Amino acid sequence: MTKLLKHNILKHITLSTKELENFCILFNQKDVKKKQFLMREGEVCKFEGFVTKGLFRVFHIDSNGFEQVLYFAQENWWITDIDSFTNETPTQLYIQALEDSQVLLISKKDKELAYINIPKIEKLFRIMTQKTHIALQQRMIDNLSKTADQRYVDFIQKYPNLFQRLTNVQIAAYLGISHEFLSKIRRKIANK
């Protein structure tokens, strides 16, 4: 289970074998069945998670009852509500497994302990936070400047393996369009 986590960490920073082991033992494995929630709106997020198997969606339900997917997290991806986790406030998000999944979870207390005992871990999370900000910034720019057709094509090209694992409804919620409109886009692309 920790092999994937170790590989992910070492892509960003260099740690000794002992430092890597000491950090990885701070994580607890959790099995999450398909459709089960890891977190629901109103709860305080008590973890940062690393997906070792399966697929999750992180989403919000707006005042009209529509789901808005912030992101999907597959193997080798991190999941959390960083606002709720950091500030210990109730979340506005849901995290739900779309497949039978496994995730390694670290608590805020254990993460802070790692910062103290393995200072390079702070660099790891700084790098990952920067990458997340870059991705979110690009997504915002795309949402403001590209058509739904362009965003759909970009999604397929950027995440070809993920695309195969999702329903049209889930992809539409990520793109911010109705699944009916997504069906029209798919037909238009298929007829080109």
**152-172: pLDDT as tens digits:** 999 999 998 898 899 999 999
How much is the pLDDT for 191?
85
Q: What is the pLDDT of residues 8-55, one digit of tens each?
A: 999 999 999 999 999 999 999 999 999 999 999 999 999 999 999 999
Mean pLDDT estimate for the chain: 95
Q: Is residue 1 predicted with pLDDT exceeding 80?
A: no
Q: Where are the domains of the chain?
A: 2-145
**Fold of the domain built from segment(s) 2-145:** Jelly Rolls (2.60.120)
Three-state DSSP state, 13: coil
CA gyration radius, the chain? 18
How much is the pLDDT for 93?
98
- Paired with 57 in beta bridges are 72, 96
Q: Is residue 192 predicted with pLDDT exceeding 80?
A: no
How much is the pLDDT for 78?
97
List the one residue out of 36, 9, 3 whose CA is nearest residue 120. 9
Q: What is the pLDDT of residues 109-128, one digit of tens each?
A: 999 999 999 999 999 999 99
Instruction: Kindly give, in sequence order, each residue whose CB lies less than 8 Å from that of residue 155, ignoring residues fewer than 6 positions away.
Output: 163, 171, 174, 175
Whether the Cβ atoms of residue 44 and residue 91 lie closer than 8 Å to each other = yes
State percent of the chain over pLDDT 90. 92
Mean pLDDT of 62-76: 94
Q: How far apart are CA 152 and CA 158, in angstroms?
A: 10
How much is the pLDDT for 87?
96
